[in-house]
Amino acid sequence: MGDSIDNDLTFSDLEVERVLLVFPDSSRSCVDVWNDKLKNGVLSGTHFKEHWRIWVPKIYSPEPYGNSLDWSYDEAKAQEVLFDTLEQFICNGDPQEVLTKLSQLDSPPSVCGRVFKMGEPTYSCRECGMDPTCVLCVDCFKQSAHRHHKYKMGTSSGGGCCDCGDTEAWRSEPFCDIHVAGSEIRPDPAGHHLPDDLTERARAAFTAVLKYAYQLLTLEYTTGLPSDLQVKESDENLFGLFNTPDAYCTVLFNDESHTFEQVITTLVRVVKCSQRDAIDFVTNTDREGRVVVKCSTFQHCTELKTDIERFTARHGNRPLKVLVVHTHVIAHQFYAMKLLDWLQKILGYAEGFRVLFSDVALQNKAPDASIVEGILLLDSHLWKSARTHWHRLIISGMLMEYESKKAFAKVFTKNYGSVLKDFMRDDHDHSFSVASMSVQVFTVPTLAHYLIANDDVLFILLNTFISECTRKCNKAGKLEFERNVPTGTFKRAHYILYDLKYLLSSKPVMWTDALRKGFLQGISLLLNLLTFMQGMDMVTRQVGQHMEYEPEWETAFNLHIKLAPVITLALEWCGTDKIVLIKAYRATLKKLYDNPSFDPNQAGEVRELVDHSATCIQYDVATQPVSIHLPLSRFLAGLHIHLEKFGLHFDSHELQVTPRPTPEQLIEPVLRTQVMISQVHAGMWRRNGYSLLNQLYFYHNVKCRSEMLDRDIVLLQIGASLIESNEFLIHLLNKFNLINWANPQFELNTLKNPEEDSMRQTISLVEEFLGLLVILVGERYTPGVGKITSDDRIKKELTQQLCIKPLSHSELNKTLPDDVNYETGMERVIDQVAEFKKPGQGSGKGIYELKTELYSNYNVFFYHYTREEFSKSEETQRKRRKAAGEPECCPPPPLPPLTDAFMMMANLLQCDVMLHIMQIVLERSINLRARSFSETQLHKVLHLIGYALQEEEKQYCQFLLFTERAEKWRLELLIEELCSSARVEAHKDLLVWTLAKYRQIAAPRRQGGPSTTVPSTLLQETSQSEGTAKEEKEWRAMMAAQKRAKIMAQMTAMQKNFMKENAKLFETTVSEVGKMSDLKGLPMDLSENMETAPVALGPNQTSKPIIEQQYTCILCQEDQTVSADGPALLLAAFVQQSTVLCQHRKTENLDMEESGRYDLPDPLFLPASVGPAPHTGTCGHVMHTHCWQKYFDSILAKENRRPYRLRQPISFDIEKHEYLCPLCECLSNTVLPLVPPLGTFQPQSNQHAQKNVTFETWLQGLKIALKYKKKLPSGVRKLEVRRSSRIQALQGREVTLNATSEENQSDFQGFADDVDSQPVQHMLYTCPIDQVSIELGDSGADFASLFPSNRNLADKPWLSENLEEMIILYSQATYTKGLGVHPHIGDSRVPLMIWKSCAYSIHSLECLLRDMEKPLLGDLSCRHRDCLESLVRIVGVFDAVWKRPEVTSSHALHILSLILENPSDGPCILDWDCFGVLVPLTFSLPSLFLSDQPTPVPSGNVQELNILKLMLLSHIVKILLTVDFNEREEEPMDVEEVGEGDPAAKSNILELLHAVRKVAAVPSDENAVQLDARSVWTKVKNACIPFLRCCALFYHFLVGVPGPYVLMEVGGDTFENLCAYLGLPKSYHELVSSPAVFDLSMKWAHHEKVRRYVSGASNLSPVTVPLPVNQLVSLPADYSELINTVSLFTCPNSEREDSRNPTMCLVCGQMLCSQSYCCQTELNRTLVGACTYHAHECGAGVGIFLRVRECEILLLASPSRGCFMSPPYLDQYGETDQGLRRGNPLRLCLERYKKLQLLWLGHGIHEEIARALESNTSIVPTQWQHL
Ligand SMILES: [Zn+2]
Ligand SMILES: [Zn+2]
Ligand SMILES: [Zn+2]
Ligand SMILES: [Zn+2]
Ligand SMILES: [Zn+2]
Ligand SMILES: [Zn+2]
Ligand SMILES: [Zn+2]
């Protein structure tokens, strides 16, 4: 074996040169051979294949026993042998030179043609693009004029190309600045001529390459190669290459019926690969379409194949497609795809190449079809990547030049039927099918027109679609779909409708006979299709029983939605040519006649009313079937409105076909539908279920109504204009079954036969009937019906919408139907209709308000209103008119004039039947005994009368004499009488308006008749009664609102069963809490009255006011004072591991040598990089301990009752001790007990006993103590165990003190393990205090006074048991979160974590306040104040509760050793955060000498002042070591009083600076200027401020000394003010200058690690001081920039592949490949998405991300919670575009981003997510962990 490998190596190293380029049967290079054959005129594809036959398997064959994941090959060799040879041949010389020259001739090109990858940004211009498919790439867009137009952004789904330079794609500005140059320099098309020789060579090569690729990629599924590519025996002898036995591959193919999980499991089991590899296989299959999962022997491969098929066939599925293929086939196919890429690259060089390519690809020598045709027909047999390779090649080779494109379009059209049939049977997405190329050719207007005229494209497309439909037709020839029958294939057929839309999207300007013929051929097929739909999905009214099952209705509506744009466009085409219109109209009439909706043999029935009669078609809608789908009738309506343009009308001789339907017959189907809808509204169809209601909803909905409701109304209006008015109304009444009602005797008749139910129905039906009349008469905003433009129509729509309420841009846009280009036309007219009100505070969205003068156009019965919109708009308008002092009614608006064709419609208003109807409604309104009366009827009749009056006033129709004709019917008198009727009080104003209008219109005719004004008494009366009525109405509304509120409150209360009894109190709690917090503000305000500035620490400490605090429990509402022994109070609190302040994120230094340290942060102190550490927060809501426990237990019980499988991903996890605050539902996981001020625990004598120990003495004393420090012998652990058991007993567990008991034994075991796992936790102890006293000599006694030992408080219970328990409980929260461990009460790290949380929480509040620019103490929110106050106090008493002073003492020694000894094997000064050391030292140092007594509570004594001094000193040294003092500050030199007159101080700081820098070997700056002591000191002081701010917060809450006034103001926190409050000296001299300080500084600077940091030898740069406030990454102002950046982002786990969901971490800026299998990682033994994993690494489980393509914010809280939020980007109307649906240009809104920043910085993400999940109503839970 070793031999053969050696041989291989020798071969490739040495013989490459000789053999590689040599042709098999000669000794010459292949290029020479090809040249020879060319010269002799015999060169063919065979000669190329001879070369590839040998070399392709050699180079590209997969390794035996491998798979596609570890597949690699020699790329350089491939290039040399397989590609360079081709190029050399084509160029006959140096390819580089020739190709460069060629491309220069072509440069710059006049078209772009860039093929988009998936996710690449695209831009369309809404002003210039012909349609929305016309798009530009980023480069072109940035160089084009459209960037200043109204444009839209989008992301490509892959496969399309840039349309820059295509003059047909753009109305104007077709070129960008790059490509315009190309169009200018080459006006003549001769530019693409290649030299003859080159042409000949390229033709030969292209032909060979294309045929080879075609042959290999479309290879039928055999295991072997075509014979001319097989390796022959002679080859083997010659080269000795292939003595290895034949190898085979198991190839897995993609399908859409198996889930990822199914395939992954199968592969893991069958192929025995790892989970990770299985995922990679599956993602590759999904992307590429196939993958090699194994190379092996034929037998092994076949076994795998069988197993995979067997496994995947299990779930009732088809088995996955698996093939066993020879490795050489795989190699050749791989090369074939590479060749296609290569060819695409070559085509890019010159237009000549492309023309040649197109020629070759289309060439067909019978019987063979051309390559293009072959690909079209075999596309669905190829796997994904093979397909896309061909598609891209065709796009870049054939679609750039018009003639090639046209040639392709013809071939495409010819084969369209087969292509689509294949596509429908296939299961791949449309974008992976060659069918998707239609958008490239059908959207080009001239091509579309050409294809319609010459290639029967409409016929072919419609025929393909119709043949799909005929399968779905029932016996009656109507489409019929069944529920639960898969409709996948039919849905895929809908793509044909898109293609039809493309073809028709541009109307022809010039018609030719050929175009007419082709188009009308299409129309005739379209009419066939419409006939299939006419009358489909019939419904029959259900009586007696409810429907048993809901009939299918969705498919028909889906079809309608896809077809409607085609219908609209076809109608528009018809409207542009008289001949076409006539022929289409006649054809439609004929179709309608051939498909009657009634029985032609049934005789009509004569109906009579007021001396008029009509022969009506008998059809009872209430018992016979009715359909909502009537596209054929509607098509006629669409054609009809174009007639007038060409001087045509219904009776023109051109339109006479015999036989044809009468107008009555034409309106019949539509009328039935209207009656059915009316009956539904009248409650007659209640038993028909939701299916029907859904249909009606969509019939009326904006997405469907243009080709449904709107056309129906037009058709009825056509009927009204063609049928005699009285007859028309009789037809309507008859169909509504209301002839009886219209009988004057109706009321009398019903008295004899009273039937409540049918009367109620009749009343409703009359209302519906009158409503239909109002619509027919009044809805004239359709071009062709009224004399209006389509813009007028949009304006009308907008006006009506804005009468409901002001709307934002997107809301308003949504109310309009969009055209085929998805445009509504709103922007064109909106400014004429409304005014845009900018958003108030930058963040809200702007709204449009209707212009005042347009309110008079409001039509209360507008036909597009839903019922809610009707009542809402009426209410709004009544209110508005009342406020404006106008009569409170909504009279009908003036109407636009009718077109001549529809003029007769106006006659409806004055015909006898109408007047009769008006009369009876008015009379019955007056008649108090009339039972058929309703207010709505009166309202609608008054509306109709109003229309008639408006119409007569305008005098558009000369024949309209309403007032005159109405005399006979006494309408005026009836109205006048009604004005004083109490029954119709609500419509009094409208009656008055109508009467006045009537008299005003009638006046000229009456010529000075009786007074025409309304009696003034009447008016007065109206307004009076209106007043009282109004009041009553308002009162009722108020009562109703109150009742509603009550019910709501009760409901909330019921949901929260814990406070059932307190439902009412609940509402008031909030305000009481507010009051409480006001009271709590008092102590701080006291400071204003104090004469001297307060001092918190040291000998000059201001006396601390002890204020009793009282809170109300939110659960039981009882007031409670905070005390040590009373019932304990708690705050709901949340502890989370936080990295918000981190200066070094884990992700940045994964490979760092120090990284180990970050995995396990030293528990002893907060590191300089600040975190991760447990952060404590609270919502500030207070409860009794027992109330909270009861509440928590009830949740626990509730959650346990919930069956496991019904578990929602609820907002909190009970197993993690989480719950929601009962008041504000804030996420909580622990409690913070309220502890009284620490001063109450200190004996007053303590204060006086304190001596002023100098800093130096203090240091010296501590050093002595350190000198005696010793490790505690291990036996002492027993003691610890005993103590911890005591605490467990505290918690209610029964533990005996007997150390031999079993339970204790196990406890001991657990504890010992824990101790061993702790790196620094060996226990230390030191000498007694007396020893130090003695050694200190004179000052010994003073020092000893700092550690009083003779206290007798030891056994006195300070705090109630209850309170102690809760303090321990809280300590466990910080302990478990901070260390990621299970609870353990006795662990010595428990106090460390509680200290750490205290330090970190203060740090983070300091940063938050700094970021918000809020004052340090003056403006704290109650949440923050309550949180820190309780936290600091709890920590203060913790040691006394925990009762293990010997552990505390040991911690103190550890910390002291760290600081004062600073051993070289421990952390250096740059490793710790000074405040993070100060806190633990403050709490542990008092225990230094006490190992058997409770730790004293800190009180702000001299000891603490000295601790502060020590840490400030270390902070200053850090500053001196790390800050660059050469950097000059911008600010002018401020006048300083400190150090001004003290030259010694000046030299002092410089001296220290130079000394420490020298010791630490800080590299000196060459250009260092002479440092100025004053500026150095200023810098140092400024850098100290954040540290001092933390200290001020800390001591303020610790000792309770109120802060000075200056610290409550912004900017008052100067170094001097902070020092004053903290009791520190302010000058450098007093602070720093002493030998002890100097020595200590030297010691710190001398540490080995400091040198490594400052010299840059360490991988980590030292953390800069002061701590900067972390910010979220900065985002570009323009959102498109962000999209552009991510288009370059590829998935880090799959080579060069795009990521589908590029998502940016806003904390660190890293881009991730989210929501994808390729980037799943294992975390805690489950696979999680890239975001979840990153959140774990970067944010300790919390993440804040921007999903770039979706344009939305993602918040994550591991392991499985998250929520989406709207992004901080807004369009020009102040609206966000979550999901990037509208595509308007977006800009960054800084305010919104700042809010996000504060949410993060304030640790609010967990809370935000919990709230979002709580209010989430979606049924399908999001798998957050997979994002
Ligand atoms: Zn472009
Ligand atoms: Zn361009
Ligand atoms: Zn433009
Ligand atoms: Zn309570
Ligand atoms: Zn709360
Ligand atoms: Zn990925
Ligand atoms: Zn990050």
In this predicted model, what pLDDT tens digit does every residue of 1333-1362 receive, in sequence order? 888 888 888 888 888 765 555 445 478 888
How far apart CA 1497 and CA 1441 sit, in angstroms, is 11
Indicate which ligand has the atom closest to the C-alpha of 170. 3
Give the pair of three-digit tokens for residue 1679. 């959102």
How far apart CA 233 and CA 238 sit, in angstroms, is 9
Measure 1147 CA to ligand 7 centroid, in angstroms: 7
Measure 1193 CA to ligand 5 centroid, in angstroms: 18
Is 128 within 8 Å of 173 (Cβ atoms)? yes
Measure 110 CA to ligand 2 centroid, in angstroms: 8
pLDDT tens across 923-936, in order? 999 988 888 899 99
Q: So what's the pLDDT on residue 2?
A: 35
Measure 1749 CA to ligand 6 centroid, in angstroms: 15
Measure 464 CA to ligand 4 centroid, in angstroms: 75
- Rounded to the nearest angstrom, the gap between the alpha carbon of residue 34 and the centroid of all alpha carbons in its chain is 58
Q: So what's the pLDDT on residue 230?
A: 79
DSSP state of 59: H
Measure 1183 CA to ligand 5 centroid, in angstroms: 10
For the chain, percent of residues with pLDDT exceeding 90: 40
The overall average pLDDT reported for the chain is 83
Is 185 within 8 Å of 62 (Cβ atoms)? no
Measure 248 CA to ligand 3 centroid, in angstroms: 56
Q: So what's the pLDDT on residue 235?
A: 59
Measure 176 CA to ligand 3 centroid, in angstroms: 11
Question: Is the pLDDT assigned to residue 1752 strictly greater than 80?
Answer: yes
1709: alpha, beta or left? (left if phi > 0; alpha if psi -120 to 50): left
Mean pLDDT of all residues in 800-817:
92
Residue predicted with more confidence, 1650 or 1419: 1650
In the chain, the amino acid numbered 873 is S
Question: Is the pLDDT assigned to residue 764 strictly greater than 60?
Answer: yes
Band (pLDDT 50/70/90 cuts) for residue 1323 is confident
Q: So what's the pLDDT on residue 1304?
A: 35
Indicate which ligand has the atom closest to the C-alpha of 1704. 7
Sequence-distant (≥ 6) Cβ neighbours of residue 52 within 8 angstroms: 82, 212, 229, 332, 335
Band (pLDDT 50/70/90 cuts) for residue 242 is low
DSSP assignments along 523-571, one per residue: HHHHHHHHHHHTT-S-B----SSPPSSPPP-HHHHHHHHHHHHHHHHHH
Measure 255 CA to ligand 6 centroid, in angstroms: 20
Measure 389 CA to ligand 5 centroid, in angstroms: 59
Q: In 218-274, which residue ranges form alpha helices assigned H by DSSP?
A: 233-239, 260-270
Indicate which ligand has the atom closest to the C-alpha of 127. 3
Q: For 1404-1494, list the strands marked E by DSSP.
A: none
How far apart CA 1534 and CA 1582 sit, in angstroms, is 12
Sequence-distant (≥ 6) Cβ neighbours of residue 1798 within 8 angstroms: 1408, 1411, 1412, 1804
For the chain, percent of residues with pLDDT exceeding 70: 84
Measure 433 CA to ligand 2 centroid, in angstroms: 27
How far apart CA 1061 and CA 1117 sit, in angstroms, is 11
Measure 183 CA to ligand 1 centroid, in angstroms: 14
Measure 173 CA to ligand 3 centroid, in angstroms: 7
Indicate which ligand has the atom closest to the C-alpha of 182. 2
Q: 491-505, 766-780, 1248-1262, 1305-1319: lowest mean pLDDT where?
A: 1305-1319
How far apart CA 78 and CA 89 sit, in angstroms, is 16
Question: Is the pLDDT assigned to residue 1169 strictly greater than 50?
Answer: yes
CB neighbourhood size of 1268 (10 A) = 14
Measure 798 CA to ligand 3 centroid, in angstroms: 26
Band (pLDDT 50/70/90 cuts) for residue 1699 is confident
Mean pLDDT of all residues in 348-355:
88
pLDDT tens across 210-233, in order? 999 999 998 876 667 877 787 776
How far apart CA 877 and CA 879 sit, in angstroms, is 5
Q: So what's the pLDDT on residue 236?
A: 55
How far apart CA 676 and CA 765 sit, in angstroms, is 10
DSSP state of 894: P
How far apart CA 1798 and CA 1800 sit, in angstroms, is 5
Measure 1706 CA to ligand 7 centroid, in angstroms: 7
Q: 255-269, 420-434, 1000-1014, 1149-1163: lowest mean pLDDT where?
A: 1149-1163
Is 736 within 8 Å of 765 (Cβ atoms)? yes
Measure 1115 CA to ligand 5 centroid, in angstroms: 11
Picking from 1665, 1633, 1644, the residue whose alpha carbon sits closest to that of residue 1559 is 1644
Sequence-distant (≥ 6) Cβ neighbours of residue 823 within 8 angstroms: 126
Burial of 1335 (0-12, 13-18, 19+ CB in 10 A): middle
Measure 144 CA to ligand 2 centroid, in angstroms: 7
How far apart CA 678 and CA 767 sit, in angstroms, is 9
Q: So what's the pLDDT on residue 601?
A: 80
CA geometry: angle at 1805 spanning 1804 and 1808, to 5°? 85
Indicate which ligand has the atom closest to the C-alpha of 180. 2
Is 1088 within 8 Å of 1054 (Cβ atoms)? no
Q: In 779-866, which residue ranges form alpha helices assigned H by DSSP?
A: 790-804, 809-814, 826-833
How far apart CA 1340 and CA 1331 sit, in angstroms, is 9
Measure 341 CA to ligand 2 centroid, in angstroms: 23
1573-1599 and 1474-1484 are packed helices; what angle lies between their axes, rounded to 10 degrees?
40
Mean pLDDT of all residues in 288-308:
90
Please state the φ and ψ torsions of residue 1623, each to the nearest 5 degrees: 75, 20
pLDDT tens across 395-439, in order? 989 988 899 999 999 999 999 999 999 999 888 888 889 999 999
Q: So what's the pLDDT on residue 1625?
A: 86
CB burial string 783-816: b at 16+ within 10 A, e below? bbbbebeeebbbbbbbbbbbbbebbbbbbbbbbb
Band (pLDDT 50/70/90 cuts) for residue 837 is confident
Q: In whole angstroms, how large is the CA radius of gyration of the chain?
A: 44
Indicate which ligand has the atom closest to the C-alpha of 1716. 6
Picking from 1725, 1756, 1762, 1738, the residue whose alpha carbon sits closest to that of residue 1673 is 1738
Indicate which ligand has the atom closest to the C-alpha of 130. 3
C-alpha distances in Å from residue 1033, one per residue of 860, 1021, 1045, 1313: 20, 18, 18, 76
Measure 1694 CA to ligand 7 centroid, in angstroms: 21
Picking from 845, 854, 846, the residue whose alpha carbon sits closest to that of residue 798 is 854
Q: In 737-854, which residue ranges form alpha helices assigned H by DSSP?
A: 739-742, 746-752, 756-778, 790-804, 809-814, 826-833
Question: Is the pLDDT assigned to residue 1530 strictly greater than 90?
Answer: no
Indicate which ligand has the atom closest to the C-alpha of 151. 3
Place of tokens 């102690």: 1364
Measure 1808 CA to ligand 6 centroid, in angstroms: 28
Measure 1145 CA to ligand 7 centroid, in angstroms: 8
Is 1687 within 8 Å of 138 (Cβ atoms)? yes
Question: Is the pLDDT assigned to residue 1012 strictly greater than 50?
Answer: no
CB burial string 185-224: b at 16+ within 10 A, e below? ebeeeeebebeeebbbbbbbbbbbbbbbbbbbbbbeeeee
Q: 175-184, 1067-1076, 1186-1195: lowest mean pLDDT where?
A: 1067-1076
Indicate which ligand has the atom closest to the C-alpha of 1224. 5
Question: Is the pLDDT assigned to residue 1089 strictly greater than 70?
Answer: no
Q: 3-class SS at 607? A: strand
Q: So what's the pLDDT on residue 1296?
A: 30
pLDDT tens across 53-88, in order? 888 888 888 877 777 777 778 888 889 889 999 999
Residue predicted with more confidence, 1697 or 928: 928
- CB-based neighbours (< 5 A) of ligand 7, an ion: 1705, 1707-1708, 1738
Q: 129-143, 545-559, 747-761, 1235-1249: lowest mean pLDDT where?
A: 1235-1249
Beta bridge partners of 1138: 1173
Q: So what's the pLDDT on residue 367?
A: 73
Sequence-distant (≥ 6) Cβ neighbours of residue 1695 within 8 angstroms: none
How far apart CA 1727 and CA 1693 sit, in angstroms, is 15
Measure 178 CA to ligand 1 centroid, in angstroms: 9
Question: Is the pLDDT assigned to residue 624 strictly greater than 90?
Answer: yes
Band (pLDDT 50/70/90 cuts) for residue 1061 is very low
Measure 148 CA to ligand 3 centroid, in angstroms: 7
Measure 1360 CA to ligand 4 centroid, in angstroms: 17
Mean pLDDT of all residues in 41-62:
87
How far apart CA 1605 and CA 1327 sit, in angstroms, is 45
Measure 1366 CA to ligand 4 centroid, in angstroms: 15
1524: alpha, beta or left? (left if phi > 0; alpha if psi -120 to 50): beta
Measure 1189 CA to ligand 4 centroid, in angstroms: 10
Is 304 within 8 Å of 319 (Cβ atoms)? no
Measure 1755 CA to ligand 7 centroid, in angstroms: 12
Indicate which ligand has the atom closest to the C-alpha of 124. 3
Measure 177 CA to ligand 3 centroid, in angstroms: 13
Question: Is the pLDDT assigned to residue 321 strictly greater than 80?
Answer: yes
Indicate which ligand has the atom closest to the C-alpha of 1059. 4
How far apart CA 371 and CA 360 sit, in angstroms, is 8
Indicate which ligand has the atom closest to the C-alpha of 146. 3
Indicate which ligand has the atom closest to the C-alpha of 1128. 4
Measure 281 CA to ligand 3 centroid, in angstroms: 45
Indicate which ligand has the atom closest to the C-alpha of 1690. 6
Mean pLDDT of all residues in 1087-1101:
69
Question: Is the pLDDT assigned to residue 373 strictly greater than 80?
Answer: yes
Residue positions counted in the chain: 1827
Sequence-distant (≥ 6) Cβ neighbours of residue 28 within 8 angstroms: 22
Measure 165 CA to ligand 2 centroid, in angstroms: 6
Measure 409 CA to ligand 1 centroid, in angstroms: 22
Please state the φ and ψ torsions of residue 72, each to the nearest 5 degrees: -140, 155
Band (pLDDT 50/70/90 cuts) for residue 781 is very high
